[in-house]
Structure 1
Amino acid sequence: MTHPPRLRPEDRADFAAAVDLALGTADIRDALAADPGGLTTADLRADALARADALAAAAAEPYRVYLSLRGAARRETPPGGAGGLLPALAVLTPLVAGTSAAALLLVGGVLRAARASGPLPGSLAAAGWTLALVAALSGLVALAALLRTALRRDAVPPAPDQVEHARRVWRQALLDHGVLPHLRHLLASRPEAAITPRSPADTLTPCPARARKDTTPCSD
């Protein structure tokens, strides 16, 4: 069974906003007014914030989608400086190491052919073979980096409005399935509150002006 993702620190402000929106719902306000000696708005808010992770689990799937899109959008823009330096090093290292290896092996071979005395010919040849190995390994790393870059470019990054839509869907699910049911359960345990659940305020679609003049529910 997949565990719900824990609420990230940067998303706790959105959770608090959902709690405030729930506390402003008509049935919550009416229940609090009907029991002035009981729970207060501050009590309900503190309780919901203390149970943030548990309440956020009720909207785990929309939150997982939102985190995935947000992470993909952030990975698409690498930080400056290092982002351009590393690919350049990956390409230049094999070239420099290969060129140096060829030069050292050539000089060492010439000295050996000339029957030069001393350890210099052997040292040049050993250094040349070492650089040849470095060139081969760095070439494989550069190839893997190029393939990875090509694959990432083929993937279409999520647009900012997609990420924002996923955030709004998550906040609505958090309100409908996590925060509001919890607050209503707390108030229902006090008979004096006499809570009557109503449709929650929609965070995605504002209520049209005509709804303030009659009792017709807001709809798209």
Structure 2
Amino acid sequence: MHMNSAPHLLAEDRPEYERILDDALRHAHERPDLAAVGERLNAVQLRTMALDATALITATAATEYRHYVKAREELRVPTEEAGEDSGSGVGASRQSGAGIGAVITVLTPVLAGTAAFIFLLAGYLLKLLAPPPSFASTMVTAGWFFAAVMAAAILAAAIGLLVTALRNGSAQPVEDTEAELPEDVARAREAWRHALLERGILPFLREALADPGAGPAARAPERSANRIPKVGYTPPDFSSPDQGPAAGPRPTFTSPDFTSPDFGGPEHEPD
């Protein structure tokens, strides 16, 4: 059974752990202690082994990670409160405005197309009459007008989708921009990254290259048996009942002197 998820590592930080691991493997040739990558084990094998031992590796930087998570949560609390306060004001008006715009964008081509079909159909049918009514040409003109509105609405919707796609594609994720984070959160994050790399990932890779046959639990840093503190004590000396203190002299007693019925009281004297 693989340990693919560290119990203390949040899901949002799992990609960051994998990025640090991939970066270490990508630059392994620059480290003399990892020069054996590709000889005994290749980068793919090492990556798989490190992912299997995620819980053990990340535990080496647990203190720095707790500090980073705490700093990040303190940053998010004021932001969430500000979002809740503005949700009933500006945020609600923006959402309502966006909703109305989306409805108009969707309904305009449908309604214009329906009107164009009705007016054009009715106008050309009326022109087949002899003589055609005077308003037949007006209905045909109205039909072509609504057809042009439908085409313009479809073109505007397509341009809007294209602009939105380009904007989202060029936008850089917030979590990848260090400048967006406050100084204390960025410093805590960097400390966790450094500790995870130096105390967790690199020692794991070195031990994996030195002993490819060992399992993840035996190879994980700071998990050796000699690091477990031993508590010294002497167990109590329990002795069996046969080896207890010397028993004293047993109490002695004599049985009562019972006589037979023939030698009872005076009423039983022999004749």
TM-score, length of structure 2 as denominator length: 0.38
Indicate the structure (1 or 2) with the bigger Cα radius of gyration: 2
Task: With a CA cutoff of 8 Å and minimum separation of 6, indicate the structure with the bigger relative contact order.
Answer: 1
TM-score, length of structure 1 as denominator length: 0.46
